[in-house]
Amino acid sequence: MTSSKVSTSSTDRIERSTLINAPVSRVWRALTNAEEFGGWFGVALKGKNFVAGHSVQGQITIPGFEHVVFEALVERLEPEKLFSYRWHPYAVDPAIDYSKEPTTLVEFTLKDTGKGTLLTVVESGFDKIPVARRAEAIRMNTGGWEGQMENIQTYVTSQQKH
């Protein structure tokens, strides 16, 4: 399993990349089939679909975060190139109504390298998040994306038929 990690950050964005030893079509399916996405991301999305312009919700299944509902508004689905959605970053406190806050944009891009798929995730828009929780949202999502990129890589490569 080959992996390369590229990390960039600013106050407004998080970017992570990984090389997955699988064709673009397989990585695309793991990203955009809602049930498969839920399998590696840690959210119950059985029977759900990602459709541009529509929201999708599911209960988080990651231990310690089961009280959190994943909610994303799907923005774009450009087959085997780009998948993006908006959400409220690190919206884990049940006492807070995050619906009045701005969202961040999560964009996954896929590129065939000839040796696999370079998957990049960029989450941007943190500068618009209320200052009282911005630093924690960036910190938690930075670690979160590092883990999720490992999760999708493990998921896709373990699902491949040899």
Residue 6, pLDDT > 80, answer: no
What pLDDT was estimated at residue 77?
98
Calpha distance 55→123 (Å, rounded): 18
Please, what are the domains in the chain? 6-159 (3.30.530.20)
The token pair at 52 is: 């541009």
Residue 11: pLDDT band with limits 50, 70, 90:
confident
Q: Kindly report, residue by residue over 105-137, the tens digit of the pLDDT.
A: 999 999 999 999 999 999 999 999 999 999 999
Counting Cα atoms < 13 Å in the Cβ hemisphere of 9 gives 13
Residue 47, pLDDT > 70, answer: yes
Q: Kindly report, residue by residue over 75-94, the tens digit of the pLDDT.
A: 999 999 999 999 999 999 98
Report the pLDDT averaged over residues 32-49. Answer: 98
What pLDDT was estimated at residue 10?
66
**Mind spelling out the 3-state secondary structure of the chain?**
CCCCCEEEECCCEEEEEEEECCCHHHHHHHHHCHHHHHHHHCECCCCCCCCCCCEEEEEECCCCCCCCEEEEEEEEEECCCEEEEEECCCCCCCCCCHHHCCCEEEEEEEEECCCCEEEEEEEECHHHCCHHHHHHHHHHHHHHHHHHHHHHHHHHHHHCCC
- Residues β-bridged to residue 71: 57
